Structure 1
Amino acid sequence: MKKTISGIRGIFGEDLNLKDVLEFCNNFSSLVKSQKCVIGKDTRPSGFMIKDTASAALMKNGIDVFNLGTVPTPVVFREARKYGAGIVVSSSHNPIEWNGMKFIIKGRGINEKELPQIIEKQEITKSKIGNEQDISSSYVEDAKKIIGNLENQPEIVVDIGGGAAKGFAPDLLESIGCKVLTLNENLEGCSRGPDPTADNLSELVSASSNKEIGFAFDLDGDRLVVVRNGKKQTPDVTLGLGVAKSLELGYKKFVLSIDTSVSVEKFIKERGGTVQRTKVGEANVIEQMLESNAQAGGEGSSGGFILPEFNYCREGILTSGLISSMLGTKKFNEILNFMESYFQIRDKTAIDSQFHDKVIDDVHSKLSKEYSEVNTLDGVKGIIDEDSWVLIRKSNTEDIIRVSAESNDEEKCRQIVKDTIELVKQSYDKIR
């Protein structure tokens, strides 16, 4: 089981069971000062049981529960702004047998200070039993107000991936004037896995080859991958396109995760914007956004564009509409061409979690001798030159160490990743 600010996740029935759900939601109740909490789930088969158990734990502690049913993560985050707290029953891009919970306070994910209060046992003094009621969301209408209406009626293919974006992403795109073809609406018979960043998206690539663009979502609808001209784009392109739209709207103050493409940062700075970097993870990015009053940003690894005025989370669905509004414009082609001149590779190697810290420390020692600049904000990032870098960090969700690299030379980027993974494996073999 993984317990991080990204959520509590595990294989349901093995290392995550209903007793755990009761315990964590009981503890979370101590943070819910509004005595109101919205709850929604993605399409995983175990979602119903976890959602009902979570709701029962909250109501036992006097909290009124507002049930959204099966909805994307951004919908729960948006409604949590109104009610004060929220729970998303999901494990995002993890395999179907996994599930978990994301906890929301005042419209944002929990932070490092709040996480221990959810993990450690809390005694709750209750005064009454809470009630439960079903609610709907105005998310699509609210998002449409941000995007506006499109006059050119672009033809778009949307790959739902059997997830919760069904009924939201297609509806939003159609409402702003797009012509939409939908793939993989239901989990049963879905042609791909739950994580569009890891899948080759062959069906979407084929279906969108004669359309303007293709969009693919993960199971809970916060991750978005772009397919353009028969090619699956990197997650950083999703973020870069969202950033380009932000610049078009006049925003200048951005926060990016440490693993986001240097091309996005350069694009912002060349147009008069400023950039702050944070640890990987949307909660870290959002916390810095709130502290610095930033206007937009996100993390490249998950294709996660964040627009604080609308939502304090990765916004795959809103971003699909924002990107659609730029189709056929100079701005769209400008950012796409600029970013395609850089190459990002994100890989991973299996490392037992108990050895993560020791491996990272050993790699840090070796990279400090090799590179003139090493950043330890999150894991170890070696700056090779102004266009090339490598980042080694432990996963918050799996028993792996992630290796990310970028360069404006594709072969150089591949060699950096190959050499670094070998370095990580050598450290692991030495330590265990």
Structure 2
Amino acid sequence: MKKTISGIRGIFGEDLYLKDVLEFCNNFSSLVQSGKCAIGKDTRPTGSMMKDAASAALMQNGIDVFNLETVPTPVVFREARKYGAGIVVSSSHNPIQWNGLKFIIEGRGINEKELPKIIEKQEIPKTKIGAEQDISSSYIEDARKIIGSLENNPEVVVDIGGGAAKGFAPELLESIGCKVHTINENLEGSTRGPDPTADSLSDLVSASSGKDVGFAFDLDGDRLVVVRNGKKQTPDVTLGLGVAKSLDLGYKKFVLSIDTSVSVEKFIKENGGTVQRTKVGEANVIEQMIKDNAQAGGEGSSGGFILPEFNYCREGILTSGLISSMLGTAKYNEILDFMESYFQIRDKTAIDAQLHDKVIEKVQTTFEKNYSETITLDGVKGIIDENSWVLVRKSNTEDIIRVSAESNDENKCKQIVKDTIELVNQSYEQVR
């Protein structure tokens, strides 16, 4: 089981049980000052029983539960702004047998200070029993107001991936004027995995041929991957397009995770903006956004654009509408042409979690000898030259070490990743 600011995640029935859900949600109750909590789930088979257990734990502590049933994560975040707290029953892009809990306070994910209060036992005074109420969301209407109406009626293909974006992403895109075709609407029979950043998306590539754009979502609808001209784009492109729209709207203050493409940062600065970097993790980006009063940003690695004025989370569904509003414009082509000269590769290697820190420490020593600059904000990042970097960090959600690299030379990027994976594995052997 993983317990991080990204949420509680585990394989249901192996290291995550209903008793854990009851305990964590009981503890979370101590953070809910409003006495109200919105709750929703994605399409995982274990979602309903986990949501019911989470609701029961909240209600026994006097918290009123507002049930959204099956909805994307951004919808729960949006409603949590109204009610003061929220829970999403999801493990996002993890395999189907996994599930988990995402906790929301005041419209944002929990931070490092709040996490211990959720994973350590709390005694909650019992004053009353809370009530439960089914609710619907105004999410589509709210998002449409941000995006506006389109005049060119683009043709888009939406790959639901069997997830919670069904009933939201196609409807939003249709409401702003897109001609929408959907594939993989249901979990049963879906031809791809839950993580569009990792899947080849071959069906979407084929279905979007001759169309303006293709969009693929993960199971809970916060990640978005773009398919353009018959080619799956890197997840950084999703963020880059959101950034381009933000710049077009006059926004200048951005926050990006440390593993986001350098091309996005350069594009922002060339257009008069500023960039602050953070540790990887949606909650880390959001925390810095709030601190700096930033206007936009996100995580390139997760295909996650964040627009704080609308939601304090990765916004795959809203972003699909914002991108659609840019189709055929100079700004749309400008950012894509700019980013296509950079190549990102993200890989991973299995390492005993107990040795992660020792491995990264040895990697850092080597980086300091070989590279002009090292950054230890999150793991260790080596700056190779102005267009090339490599980042080694332990995962927040899996028992692995991640290696990410970028360069304006594709072969160089591949070699950087190959050499760094070998270095990580060698370091592992040395500390075992």
- Superposition TM-score tier, normalisation by shorter sequence: over 0.9
Q: How far apart are 1:79 and its partner, in Å?
A: 0.2
Counterpart AA for 2:323? I
Deviations along 1:324-343, one digit per CA (max 9) or x if unpaired, are 00001111011001001000
Tell me the distance in 1 between the aligned counterparts of 2:205 and 2:110: 36
- The CA deviation string for residues 349-401 of structure 1, in whole angstroms up to 9 with x for no partner, is 01121111111111111111111200000000000000000000000000100
Matches within 5 A, 1:10-409: 10-409=10-409
Q: Tell me by how many angstroms 1:429 deviates.
A: 1.0
CA shift, 1:265, in A, is 0.3
Following the alignment from structure 1 to structure 2, what is the Cα–Cα distance between the partners of residues 259 and 192?
Answer: 25
1:84-115 Cα offsets, whole Å, 9 max, x none, are 00000000000000000000000000000000
Q: Which residue identity does 1:238 align to in structure 2?
A: T
Provide Cα deviations, 1:38-60, integer angstroms capped at 9, x if missing partner.
00000000000100000000000
Distance between the aligned counterparts of 2:168 and 2:111, measured in 1? 28
Partners of 2:68 and 2:48 lie apart in 1 by: 12
Name the amino acid aligned to 1:185. Answer: E
Deviations 1:180-201 (A, max 9, x none): 0000000000000000000000
Separation of aligned partners in 2, 1:321 and 1:356: 40
In the TM superposition, what is the alpha-carbon distance from 1:34 to its structure 2 partner?
0.4
Tell me the CA shift for residue 206 of structure 1: 0.3
Q: Distance in 2 between matches of 1:366 and 1:328?
A: 46
TM-score (norm 2): 1.00
Q: For residue 369 of structure 1, what is the amino acid of its counterpart?
A: K
Deviation at 1:147, TM superposition (A): 0.2
Partner Cα distance (2:360, 2:289) in 1 = 27
Counterpart Cα distance in 2 of 1:237 and 1:66: 35
Percent of aligned pairs with the same amino acid:
86
Shift in Å at residue 128 of structure 1? 0.2
Could you tell me how far 1:258 is from its partner in structure 2?
0.3
Letter aligned with residue 299 of structure 1: E
Alpha-carbon distance in 2 for matches of 1:174, 1:366: 52
Cα distance in 2 for residues equivalent to 1:130 and 1:146: 34
- Secondary structure of the 1:195 match is coil
Q: Deviations for 1:393-417, whole angstroms, at most 9, x for unmatched residues?
A: 0000001000000000000000000
- Deviation, structure 1 residue 126: 1.6
Letter in 2 for 1:67: N
Q: Give the CA deviation at 1:165.
A: 0.1
**SS in structure 2 at match of 1:170:** helix
Question: Which letter does structure 2 place at the counterpart of 1:74?
Answer: P
- Name whichever of 358-367 and 30-39 sits farther off: 358-367
- RMSD, aligned α-carbons: 0.4
Cα distance in 2, alignment partners of residues 255 and 126 from structure 1: 41
Q: Matched residue of 1:245: which SS?
A: helix
1: distance between equivalents of 2:425 and 2:415? 15
Structure 1 stretch displaced more, 347-356 or 244-253: 347-356
Q: Give structure 1 stretches of 5+ with no counterpart.
A: none
- In structure 1, give the amino acid aligned to 2:121: K
* Structure 2 letter corresponding to 1:373: E
Q: Which residue of 2 aligns with 1:430?
A: 430
Q: Secondary structure at the match of 2:31?
A: coil
Q: Deviations over 1:103-151 (max 9, x none)?
A: 0000000000000000000000021000001000000000000000001
**Structure 1 letter corresponding to 2:417:** V
User: What is the deviation of 1:272?
Assistant: 0.3
Structure 2 Cα separation of the partners of residues 257 and 218 of structure 1: 20
1:9 is aligned to 2:25: no
- Partners of 2:48 and 2:253 in 1: how far apart? 40
State the AA in 2 paired with 1:211: K
Equivalences for 1:402-421 in 2 at 5 Å? 402-421=402-421
Q: Which amino acid aligns with 1:141?
A: E
2:248 alignment partner AA: E
* Aligned partner of residue 302 in structure 1, secondary structure: coil
**CA–CA distance in structure 2, aligned partners of residues 288 and 374 of structure 1:** 21
Stretches of structure 2 that go unaligned for 5 or more consecutive residues are none
TM superposition shift of 1:430: 1.1
Give the Cα separation in 1 of the matches to 2:227 and 2:16: 35
Match of 1:381, SS state, is strand
Q: For residue 73 of structure 1, report the CA deviation from its aligned partner.
A: 0.1
Question: Partner amino acid for 2:384?
Answer: I
Distance 1:26 1:326 in 2: 44
Aligned AA (1:204): L
C-alpha separation in 2, matches of 1:100 and 1:282:
16
Separation in structure 2 between the aligned mates of residue 317 and residue 352 of structure 1, nearest angstrom? 36
